Amino acid sequence: MMRIETPWGPWDAAPLGEIVALMRGLAAPWWVAGGYAIELAVGHSYRDHGDVDIALPRRDQLAVRRLLNGWDVHVAAVAQTLRPWALDAVLPEQAHDIWVREHPEGPWRFQLMLDETDGEEWIYRRDPRIRRPLAGLTVEEDGFRRLAPEVQLLYKSKGLRPKDETDFEMVLPLLSDGQRRWLDEALEMTHSTHPWRERLRQESQGF
């Protein structure tokens, strides 16, 4: 794990296993997201991680906040700001990024991400045209669930940070034709000239 300094205090992410054990107490759907979702799909560790991302439907936000009663929980409701998330407070629609630590003097330990849903469908918050059944959004992984790699890559496609490029290169050969096609079609809607589209087509053609 990497220790990362931020204007709101340092990040020293907890081990993934500890967060998974904590989240097992939530009586609502949740899944491992971010870089760990890709690494789990690849099947082995290949880079450092600065944080642990856990995602869940927005509709279950109060359940997870109660699970974290006693933790120091803040929400990034406005860009470049963090504010405490009070127990039983419903977050505004624009708030989806939540930082969690044991106490105010400690480092941040993991992130929660609130995902949009409509009934039993997941909705990509950056483009609501992109939807997917919740039942096919995640993959079972040793007693918990992780976000399907093609969906995680869609989230990562916006930034094209070096770590996102690494994640794409590592998992690309493992994607099925259907997974590559889904990601290519999603990128066509959100970023038609995205450089990953050519790589997806080359992989499908065996180049």
Amino acid identity for residue 178 in this structure = G
Q: What is the pLDDT of residue 183?
A: 98
> 62 — phi, psi (to 5°)?
-70, -30
Q: Which residue numbers in the chain have pLDDT < 50?
A: none
- Which residues have CB under 8 Å from 158's CB, separation 6+? 126, 191
Q: What is the pLDDT of residue 10?
A: 95
Q: What is the pLDDT of residue 172?
A: 98
- Is pTM beyond 0.85 here? yes
Q: What is the pLDDT of residue 160?
A: 84
Q: Record the tokens describing residue 160, joined without a space.
A: 């094209």
- Give the position of tokens 């992130």: 111
Q: What is the pLDDT of residue 114?
A: 98
Q: What is the pLDDT of residue 1?
A: 58
Q: What is the pLDDT of residue 158?
A: 92
Q: What is the pLDDT of residue 77?
A: 79
Q: Which domains does the chain have, with CATH numbers?
A: 3-149 (3.30.460.40)
133-168 pLDDT, tens digit each: 999 999 999 899 999 999 999 999 998 899 999 999
User: What distance lies between CA 205 and its chain's CA centroid?
Assistant: 29
Q: What is the pLDDT of residue 65?
A: 98
Q: CA 207, CA 186: separation in Å to the nearest integer?
A: 22
Q: What is the pLDDT of residue 207?
A: 59
Q: What is the pLDDT of residue 124?
A: 98
